[in-house]
Amino acid sequence: MKQLHKQSSGNSIRRDEEMPMSQNSPYSPKSQKYHRSFPRSINYLLREQRLLFILVGILIGSTFFILQPTLSRIGPQDSNFPKSGVSGRLGTNGMGNWVGGKVGRVPAGIGKRRMRIVVTGGAGFVGSHLVDKLIARGDDVIVIDNFFTGRKENVAHHFGNPRFELIRHDVVEPILLEVDQIYHLACPASPVHYKYNPVKTIKTNVMGTLNMLGLAKRIGARFLLTSTSEVYGDPLEHPQKETYWGHVNPIGVRSCYDEGKRTAETLTMDYHRGADVEVRIARIFNTYGPRMCLDDGRVVSNFVAQAIRKEPMTVYGDGKQTRSFQYVSDLVDGLMALMEGEHIGPFNLGNPGEFTMLELAEVVKETIDPSASIMFKENTADDPHKRKPDISKAKELLNWQPKVSLRDGLPLMVSDFRNRILNQDEGKAH
């Protein structure tokens, strides 16, 4: 049986091999693939709304390329590129201008970008006016202040502005920020305040300056130090040029401020030479204007407050010592010109118009109360006899000079003082 089964199987295999393929067979070889015809391609595009999606994509792409030039012309108030994060790669200098180097393609139409700036002591007299000017220019401003002499009221009008930030902080302690420029103003500047805690004053000048210079080095920011005419001490040169090294008592009651600022200048130049930090140094002479502390011991604020309160104006010594007085707006213009310029300094920033204390008292009397009286007291220790800046360097290199005379600026200060003293008296009455 096995043999018959094998034979029948073999015969059937041979018959399958010999049997020709029938035309009616249900099986057929796979047909050859041909490319789709044009009508079939159209049908493919129309099916499932594929053509609609293609057209929408083209429309979106075209819209982007049409609007791109408009978007790239955004002004400085809408373009914020913090220097510390990108300046090394994009090749910007401290003022936000593009400089040489391979920086890739820059979008067309980008102008001067909005900068991010920190102002230490920004709630103080000078600092708050500087903040006003920077905000008006369109920059982002961070104010650092411990409110020892600064007041929140000086910057309260910026609360709610998204480009303004206020941090309560003492610069004696380090702080980490990302900024393009640092204006370092933090330090008590009047004798009443810096003599109140002389150790704290010199720590602010030394440790505060060290911390801000360290921040500038870390993030590549430009640093401006507001030094003082007190670095000249009781000068033997008149008027004082920036090349004059000064005549300072290193152990006197004012040396916490005088020598503190001299040390701050030393640190600033050492960071510039040793760490290649971009620095600027301003030596500020007597400044007056709105927002000065009412009783800070400085001669202009003393005279004005006393005359408004109908008190005798206090003149120390014989009243023949001289000072030069610049209005605060002139100083702010000078500080910004120095920061934006290419010169390190130091630069004297002051008004070369020179007045004796008695002459100043007469101007105050003319402005406030012709019947005001003068009271003489013994002079304080180490009080300079003469103080007048030579500003020829600032005129030549910064194109800066003061514009507001004492007789023009004093009424503006008087108006501010009168309002504050009136409010202060009303508060005491209640």
Q: Is the dihedral of CA 345, 351, 354, 357 positive or negative?
A: negative
Q: Tens digit of pLDDT for each residue in 353-364?
A: 999 999 999 999
Residue 390 is predicted with a pLDDT of: 94
Q: Which of 353, 364, 365, 356 is nearest to 402 (CA)?
A: 353
Mean pLDDT, to the nearest integer, of 317-339? 94
Residues in CB range of 184: below 8 A, 6 or more apart: 120, 121, 171, 208, 209, 212, 223, 224, 225, 226
Kindly state the DSSP code that residue 297 receives in the 8-state scheme.
S
pLDDT at 398 over 60: yes
Distance between CA atoms of residues 329 and 130, nearest Å: 8
Q: Tens digit of pLDDT for each residue in 98-119?
A: 334 433 444 444 456 789 999 9
Which residue segments constitute the domains of the chain, with CATH numbers given? 116-288+327-352+384-405 (3.40.50.720)
Q: Tens digit of pLDDT for each residue in 241-268?
A: 999 998 898 998 888 889 999 999 999 9
Residue 195 is predicted with a pLDDT of: 80
| Residue with token string 């230490």 | 120
Span between the terminal Cα atoms of the chain, in Å: 132
Distance between CA atoms of residues 329 and 125, nearest Å: 11
DSSP 89-139: HHTB-TTS-B-SS---PPPTT--SPBPEEEEETTTSHHHHHHHHHHHHHT-
Residues β-bridged to residue 117 = 141, 181
pLDDT-wise least confident of 21-25, 37-41, 425-429: 21-25
Active-site residue numbers?
A: 257
Answer yes or no: are the C-beta atoms of 345 and 394 closer than 8 Å: no
Residues in CB range of 116: below 8 A, 6 or more apart: 80, 82, 83, 139, 140, 142, 178, 179, 180, 181
| Residue with token string 């914020």 | 80
Q: Please, what is the average pLDDT of the chain?
A: 82
Q: Tens digit of pLDDT for each residue in 221-246?
A: 999 999 999 999 888 888 999 999 98
Cis (ω within 30 of 0) for the bond into 346? yes
Name the band, by pLDDT with cuts 50, 70 and 90, for residue 42. Answer: low
Residues β-bridged to residue 374 = 313
- Cβ neighbours, 10 Å, residue 335: 25
Alpha helices in 147-219 (DSSP H): 191-194, 198-203, 209-219
Q: Tens digit of pLDDT for each residue in 339-349?
A: 999 999 999 99
Distance between CA atoms of residues 4 and 13, nearest Å: 14
Residue 319 is predicted with a pLDDT of: 87
Answer yes or no: are the C-beta atoms of 91 and 100 closer than 8 Å: yes
DSSP 38-80: HHHHHHHHHGGGHHHHHHHHHHHHHHHHHHHHHHHT--TTS-B
Tokens of 312: 């005798």
pTM for the full predicted model: 0.72
Q: Is the dihedral of CA 257, 259, 264, 265 positive or negative?
A: positive
Residue 404 is predicted with a pLDDT of: 94
Distance between CA atoms of residues 129 and 123, nearest Å: 9
